[in-house]
Amino acid sequence: LDDSVSSFIQIRGSVPLFWEQPGLQVGSHRVRMSRGFEANAPAFDRHFRTLKNLYGKQIIVNLLGAKEGEHMLSKAFQSHLKASEHSADIKMVNFDYHQMVKGGKAEKLHSVLKPQVQKFLECGFFYFDGKEVKRFQRSSCKCCLQFLQMLTKQLEVLGLAEKPQLVTRFQEVFRSMWSVNGDSVSKIYAGTGALEGKAKAGKLKDGARSVTRTIQNNFFDSSKQEAIDVLLLGNTLNSDLADKARALLTTSSLRGMCLSGF
């Protein structure tokens, strides 16, 4: 607004463990942990060390559901955090997002998020008035929600809280931008836009996207993984021996072995 700038950071991502969804995934979400607890732990710790080095204080918002494989994955996520070196300084907020907003009733989120507001505000946000930095803290919340409480604080600092029409318009644009970003992220890892689950038209669109995802997951994911291996390691490693090597060796060591024709 004019010379003033305000921002905060959110990181969207999947559970940082080695897991997969084998076989046909039609109408279900079967999950299998591809490595044991001990083999997952080093990668989990490195992931959050990297996030803290890059962005500072972290808050995890775990939106996994309580059904089928999601519940198992959610429990594994919580167990790894509890057993890790980060348990003391990284907080996790858990709730079943899809169950809570079932039928498009997003207003239920406020009752869940309200007790957590202080945790989010402790992360802070960036504000520059054109002359000097008033606050320079970063919020890095690993989640998929539009934290309107954080936005409200930013709008107060910018002097816009008393202009409801402008605030409403800003929220509309923000939600639209978030939705477009979600679709883009979903297309990268799932091959389709994000599922909506709203009204009849939304459910028809979700059905079509689910069919597309099933085809993508079962016929094209292996090729995609091989391409990623080539980019990161210089070669494809898809044997049991390679899995053990990945668990024991660093990425730079693996890449060197691939380049030397191992």
Q: Where are the domains of the chain?
A: 1-158
Residue 51's CB: how many other CB atoms inside 10 A? 20
CA distance 164 to 146: 18
pLDDT at 223 over 80: no
Residue 21's CB: how many other CB atoms inside 10 A? 16
- The residue that leads in pLDDT, 211 or 36, is 36
pTM (2 decimals)?
0.62
Share the mean pLDDT of the chain: 72
pLDDT at 78: 94
**Of 188, 184, 190, 185, the residue nearest 212 (C-alpha):** 190
Two structure tokens written together for 143: 């989640």
Two structure tokens written together for 131: 């002359």
- The residue that leads in pLDDT, 135 or 61, is 61
pLDDT at 142: 41
- The residue that leads in pLDDT, 67 or 70, is 70
**In the chain, what is the greatest distance between 2 CA atoms, to the nearest angstrom?**
65
pLDDT at 76 over 90: yes
pLDDT at 84 over 70: yes
113 near 147, Cβ under 8 Å? Answer: yes
C-alpha Rg value of the chain to the nearest Å:
21
| Tens-place pLDDT, residues 139-185 | 334 443 445 556 666 777 777 767 778 778 877 888 888 778 877 77
pLDDT at 135: 43
**The one-letter amino acid at 25:** Q
